Amino acid sequence: MAGATMTAVSDAPFGTLFADAMGVARTTDGAFTEYDIEATAPLSLHPGTHALHYGSSCFEGLKAHRGTDGQVRIFRADRHAERLAESARRLCLPVPDPTFTEELVAETVAANLAATPEAPCALYLRPVLMGIDENIGAAAHPTIEALLYVLASPVGDYFAGGDRALSLWVETDLPRTTPQFGRIKTGANYAMALGLTRQARREHDVDQVLFAPDGTVQETGAANVLLLADDRIVTPSLDDAFLHGVTRDSLLTIARDRGMAVEEREVTIDEVLDWCQHGEIALSGTAAVLAAVGTLVTTDGRSMVGDGLPGFVTGALRDALLAVQRGQADDPHAWTRLVG
Ligand SMILES: *Cc1c(COP(=O)(O)O)cnc(C)c1O
């Protein structure tokens, strides 16, 4: 799809277009040593592949941005590579060295420069690690060999067609996942949240679910949650219940750099509902960067966040992060890496 126009990219649903090249690496005796750049094409997997039976797989999601200067920059690939290694460790998979993963990601971007669209579009990168031992009797044994590939997908602006604020159902009974899996970016977590999210969409007409079991806020199905005010951000402190987002970390760092107070601590749903009266609420993640929340729905009814529209602080922080990603602002923490 190298010649695809910006319009084609903007019109396609997120994650449905694929660039021509993907990076591929397979272990030998459990160790990653070399990789290839191959044509994006169906994989050949034995039906007895470990990951297909026992869930031994995890992934990452990061972006390369083409700036107004035409240059392509990958955003914080080192952090994503470290998180992939951490996911692999927790799933007893062969652990790819973060520098190896970072190199594979960079080479995948280099092979797809022609398919990397201009801002506000971007090239979304999806490293996937899976256990490939051919063994259906290994439910209680880790895979020895693994496959790591990096799929590239040109994506449009998440906010194309209007800067709409999201609505969330507040789930106070069930957690998003188990403490063993909270920090792992693995398919099982999304499968676990899916039925509940679909039910909330049907019954309460919401976009996403905010998980707050026993009143303690965790995150939504695929994004971290931030409470924002002019001079302050409040967000749950890092623990095993939720995914430690790179976007969350980046936004908190920018906020601190700007002199805002950042409070990482336990956040209760009562505090979140109070916050609606005076502050802003937003969700952070690679795909959307920072998405405003306009409505919270609980068993007591619907609460508007402020006037229900995206707030000023949310917009300012999102723009500040995008400016670094696109090479329009200084990059004091060396988050971006040039490719090509
Ligand atoms: C990917 C993901 C996030 C966001 O992480 P980023 O590194 O900011 O993209 C948050 N929560 C969950 C459950 C996720 O899967």
C-alpha closest to that of 23 among 95, 118, 124, 103: 103
Q: Is the pLDDT confidence value at 1 over 60?
A: no
Tokens of 25: 């690496």
List pLDDT tens digits, range 38-55: 999 999 999 999 999 999
With 90 as the cut, is the pLDDT of residue 4 above it?
A: no
Query: Mean per-residue pLDDT for 289-302?
Result: 96
* Residue 245, ligand 1, Cβ within 6 A: yes
Can you give the pLDDT at residue 158? 76
Say if residues 64 and 115 touch (Cβ distance below 8 Å).
no
Q: Rounded to the nearest 5 degrees, what angle is found at the Cα of 249, between the Cα atoms of 276 and 126? A: 110
Contact status, residue 6 vs residue 117, Cβ threshold 8 Å: yes
Amino acid in position 267: V
Looking up tokens 């789930």, which residue turns up? 171
Question: For residue 6, what pLDDT band results from cuts at 50, 70 and 90?
Answer: confident
Residue range 69-93: mean pLDDT, rounded? 98
Calpha distance 328→340 (Å, rounded): 18
Q: In this prediction, what percent of the chain has a pLDDT beyond 90?
A: 93
pLDDT of the residue at 162: 62
Ligand 1, atom 5: closest residue by C-alpha: 245
pLDDT higher than threshold 70 for residue 224: yes
- CB of 284 sitting under 6 A from ligand 1: yes
In this structure, the residue with its CA closest to atom 3 of ligand 1 is: 223
Tokens of 76: 């914080």
Ligand 1 atom with minimal separation from the 219 CA: 11
In the reported structure, the alpha carbon of residue 260 is separated from the centroid of ligand 1 by a whole-number distance in angstroms of 23
pTM: 0.97
